[in-house]
Amino acid sequence: MALSKKPTTGMKDILPEEMQIRDYVISVIKDTYGKFGFTSIETPCVENIANLSSKQGGDNEKLIFKILKRGEKLNVAAATTEEEVVDSGLRYDLTVPLVRYYSNNAASLPSPFKALQMGNVWRADRPQRGRYRQFMQCDIDILGEPSNLAEIELILATTTTLGRLGFKNFQIRINERRILKAMATYSGFPEESYDSVFITLDKMDKIGLEGVEAELLENGFDKACVDKYLELFKGLESAEDGVAYLADTLEGFLEPEIAQSLREIMDSVRATKASDFEIVFDATLVRGMSYYTGTIFEIAMPEFGGSCGGGGRYDKMVGKFTGNDVPACGFSIGFERIIMLLMEKGFQVPTRPKQVAYLIEKGVSGERLCEVIAQAQEARKDGTQVLVARMNKNKKFQKEQLNKEGYEEFVEFYKEELKR
């Protein structure tokens, strides 16, 4: 079998120019979230297959990179089911590992617990622009806070971070899973069909109201239910305040405090935001994960033409591990998409240290080489970034390559000083 110099499909090598931007963005994220009281944690990239297949990860559970048992435990010849050969898998998100982590360590953690987790995840997905099979995720979560203070803090921390990275005029779209369910109940859909209805609703931005109507009817839903459901969305289009409109229309199906809490979140974020963005109620926002129980939100970036992150409340997930529910809410930035947009904009990392390259001709004596390295060590003390490298035959090309990495000043050392 021939060796391949290309990375595996859906994964990529990261060149120094991009790595500088990634490191800078990570530093901004950690600094900003740190100011909001979030604490960095880390979980293993491999999880027990039962945790990953617990029907809480939505469609992502179909995309797991599964890991075979090792050594004597692996007996492929005798196996009749997948369970006999697979015992673990690569994590497809950071939420499932976080909940396991919290369930295992809750006694040692503060309450509420504000976690920041950054790390690679893996999904056997179809690669496309801004979508890879291995990619970095960046999550903040608050566990143990039942009130909407959690949502407000998560949205403010995330939007402050995006503002610091130069993003503006984006939207935070927000909705409530309990509003989605109340709309479906009011319209007469049976409870067991809610997920099917929501999957169709989630396509509203692509297929429009008429497309949603056609698909619901095609799926066999009663026309009276579909008509009543679509009337709600037509009413929303003309309503000045969508939340108030639904609170009135869904009276008896929606508890008043749910709409009130959603309005509080939006009003608080608008009054205290530190970045240039809009927060808008969107009754068509669904979010794919089945573990969401309350508020859900998403970042809509005009430059990308799609979502660049999202999250929501998942109050029932810890209870799956411990038997006791713990209120929980999280927000994930689409790290790879943010990096892609910055790269496409020609983003330059600000306040980089001065970068100097010392180029040494081959044949310089060992004594002289030590002097050059000592000189570099001295220059580094004031924060200067000094690269010490052998001088290539094609010095012009070498300098051009170093220029791309940010080196603008060059000091050359020759065997014979006259060459300088």
Q: 226-231, long-range: CB within 8 Å, 24+ apart, which pairs?
A: 226/187, 228/186, 228/187, 228/188, 229/183, 229/184, 229/187, 229/189, 229/197
- End residue of a domain, out of 323, 351, 379: 351
Are 323 and 370 found together in one domain? Answer: no
pLDDT at 75 over 90: no
156-199 pLDDT, tens digit per residue, is 999 999 999 999 989 999 999 999 999 999 999 999 999 899 98
Are 34 and 92 found together in one domain? Answer: yes
Are 388 and 332 found together in one domain? Answer: no
17-69 pLDDT, tens digit per residue, is 899 999 999 999 999 999 999 999 999 999 999 999 877 666 677 889 999 88
Are 340 and 394 found together in one domain? Answer: no
Are 406 and 319 found together in one domain? Answer: no
Number of domains composing the chain: 2
Q: 141, 134, 160, 40: which is closest to 336 by C-alpha?
A: 134
- Angle formed at CA 239 by CA 238 and CA 244, multiple of 5 degrees: 165
Q: 337, 342, 173, 350: which is closest to 262 by C-alpha?
A: 173
Are 381 and 402 found together in one domain? Answer: yes
The answer as to whether 281 is a domain residue is no
What is the four-CA torsion angle of 339, 342, 344, 348, rounded to 10 degrees? -120
Enclosing domain of residue 363: 355-413
The answer as to whether 177 is a domain residue is no
- End residue of a domain, out of 335, 351, 367: 351
Alpha helix stretches (DSSP H) within 202-334 = 204-218, 223-238, 242-249, 256-272, 317-322
| Residue 250, pLDDT score | 95
| Residue 100, pLDDT score | 95
Are 339 and 379 found together in one domain? Answer: no
Are 118 and 50 found together in one domain? Answer: yes
The answer as to whether 24 is a domain residue is yes
Q: 337, 174, 179: which is closest to 266 by C-alpha?
A: 174
The share of the chain scoring above pLDDT 70, in percent, equals 97
CATH of the domain at 26: 3.30.930.10
Indicate the annotated binding residues for L-histidine: 93-95, 123, 137, 141, 287, 291-292
The answer as to whether 309 is a domain residue is no
The answer as to whether 373 is a domain residue is yes
The answer as to whether 17 is a domain residue is yes
Are 323 and 382 found together in one domain? Answer: no
293-323 pLDDT, tens digit per residue, is 999 999 998 777 778 999 999 999 999 999 9
The answer as to whether 336 is a domain residue is yes
Indicate the annotated binding residues: 93-95, 123, 137, 141, 287, 291-292
Q: Both ends of the chain: CA-CA distance in Å?
A: 51
Distance of CA 224 to CAs 108, 163, 188, 310, 331, Å?
54, 46, 8, 33, 37
Are 326 and 380 found together in one domain? Answer: no
Are 69 and 105 found together in one domain? Answer: yes
Q: Are 179 and 258 in contact (CB under 8 A)?
A: yes
Q: 35, 282, 308, 279: which is closest to 162 by C-alpha?
A: 308
The whole-model pTM stands at 0.85
- End residue of a domain, out of 302, 333, 351: 351
The answer as to whether 77 is a domain residue is yes
| Residue 420, pLDDT score | 46
Mean pLDDT score across all residues of the chain: 90
Are 31 and 95 found together in one domain? Answer: yes
